[in-house]
């Protein structure tokens, strides 16, 4: 049993796509789907074991993948890694700027070091990856970039550093789409809402009840999954999105539309199986986050 993509087989055949944060979560899922559609996927991350594991999974499923150890916050390392990919494959057709991270804390408790670390990971690192892919490959051959941001509409109380960085990445996306259009480069963003992925397991155990309760604030009545997020990313990389650039695709079940004082009736188990809202479980290797295994 392989990846059950909603897209046509061979859609990404012959393409080379970089996926940062490809060792886990949404990045791992997206790498699998791209490989299943024929792309050669270059996994980018900091942890060798995770990258090796995902590469092995993709190989077992009949796909093609390689990997590079890279801290995207380090400019010279990013330059070298992109140069290595271009040298090995002669091209970079797509970039999924997925790597990121944050932690829960109120603004008054964030140190300058903690603030900078999140900004560097969620904003500066994505900029460096995009810039180098553009300069070293896409400037002369075109390409597509998808930046992964977050549900920060209305900002992110409790994670203000991440909210600021994600909002900055949306602005970067719009600017890059304008400046790089002359080279045939499309730049878009995907904003996942409450997605059940391994990233949730990085939060402290005491946050478990709060995380599990978040689904009740989503009009569609549930968490999204990694495959539903990957599908949006693949669409924006695909020829079907050839006239889409500078936009942010929300994948969030209408959660930002939730309003205090509005007695909205959210979806429940009675409608969960209806075709329009039924979860799309395309990822055959999906792993349930530990926080939901209680």
**Residue 132, H or E segment:** helix 125-133
Segments of 46-131 assigned E as strands: 64-69, 94-97
For residue 260, pLDDT over 80 is answered with no
pLDDT of residue 251: 96
Q: Are strands 94-97 and 143-148 parallel, antiparallel or unpaired?
A: parallel
Considering only CA atoms, which of 97, 124, 252 is closest in space to residue 187?
97
Residue 292: the pLDDT is 74
Q: Is the pLDDT of residue 120 over 80?
A: yes
> What was the pLDDT predicted at 87?
98
- Estimate to the nearest angstrom the gap between the alpha carbon of 273 and the chain centroid: 26
- On the question of pLDDT at 104 being above 90, the answer is no
Are 85 and 20 spatial neighbours (Cβ–Cβ below 8 Å)?
no
pLDDT at 115 over 90: no
According to the CATH classification, is domain 16-256 in 1.10.10.10? no
- pLDDT (tens digit, 9 = 90+) per residue, 154-176? 777 777 788 899 999 999 999 99
Return the DSSP state at 46: S
Number of Cβ within a 10 Å radius of residue 131: 17
Q: How far apart are CA 83 and CA 133, in angstroms?
A: 9
* pLDDT tens profile 30-78: 999 999 999 999 999 999 999 999 999 999 999 999 999 999 999 999 9
Q: Does residue 282 sit in helix, strand or coil?
A: coil
Give the chain's radius of gyration (CA, Å): 18
Closest to 156 in 3D by CA, of 142, 170, 139, 136: 170
Please state, as a whole number, how many other Cβ atoms lie within 10 Å of the Cβ of residue 223: 21
Residue with tokens 């553009």: 134
Measure the CA–CA gap between 29 and 225, rounded to whole angstroms: 10
Convert the pLDDT of each residue in 188-226 to its tens digit. 999 999 898 877 666 667 667 777 788 888 889 889 999
Quick one: average pLDDT of 224-236?
Answer: 97
Judged against a pLDDT cut of 80, whether residue 274 lies above it is answered with no
Sketch the domain layout of the chain as residue ranges: 16-256
pLDDT band at 272 (very low <50, low <70, confident <90, very high): low
Structure confidence at residue 73 (pLDDT): 96
Residues sharing a CB contact under 8 Å with residue 113, sequence separation 6 or more, in sequence order: none
Tokens encoding 198: 């391994």
Structure tokens belonging to residue 163: 């909210």
52-71 exposure pattern, b = at least 16 Cβ within 10 A, e = fewer:
eebbebbeebebebbbbebe
pLDDT at 255 over 90: no
């Amino acid at each position: 049993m392989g990846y059950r993509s909603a897209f046509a087989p061979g859609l990404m055949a012959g393409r080379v796509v970089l996926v940062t944060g490809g060792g886990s979560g949404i990045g791992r899922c997206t790498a699998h789907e791209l490989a299943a559609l024929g792309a050669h996927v270059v996994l980018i991350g900091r942890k060798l074991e995770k990258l090796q594991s995902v590469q092995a999974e993709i190989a077992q499923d009949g796909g093609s993948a390689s990997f590079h150890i890279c801290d995207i916050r380090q400019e010279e390392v990013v330059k070298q890694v992109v140069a290595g990919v271009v040298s090995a494959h002669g091209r970079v057709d797509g970039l999924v700027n997925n790597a990121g991270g944050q932690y829960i804390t109120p603004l008054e408790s964030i140190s300058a070091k903690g603030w900078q670390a999140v900004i560097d990971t969620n904003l500066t690192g994505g900029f460096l990856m995009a810039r180098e892919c553009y300069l070293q490959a896409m400037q002369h051959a075109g390409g597509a970039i998808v930046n992964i941001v977050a549900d920060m509409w209305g900002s992110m109380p409790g994670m203000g550093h991440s909210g600021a960085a994600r909002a900055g990445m949306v602005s970067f996306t719009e600017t890059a789409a304008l400046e790089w259009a002359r080279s045939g480069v499309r730049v878009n963003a995907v904003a996942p809402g409450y997605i059940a992925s391994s990233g949730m397991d990085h939060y402290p155990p005491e946050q478990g009840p709060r995380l599990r309760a978040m689904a009740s604030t989503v009009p569609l009545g549930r968490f999204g999954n990694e495959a539903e997020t990957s599908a949006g990313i693949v669409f924006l990389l695909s020829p079907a999105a050839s006239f889409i650039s500078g936009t942010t695709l929300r994948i969030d079940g209408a959660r930002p539309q939730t309003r205090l004082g509005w007695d909205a009736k959210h979806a429940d188990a009675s409608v969960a199986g209806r075709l329009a809202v039924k979860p799309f479980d395309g990822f055959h290797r999906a792993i349930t986050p530990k926080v939901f295994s209680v």
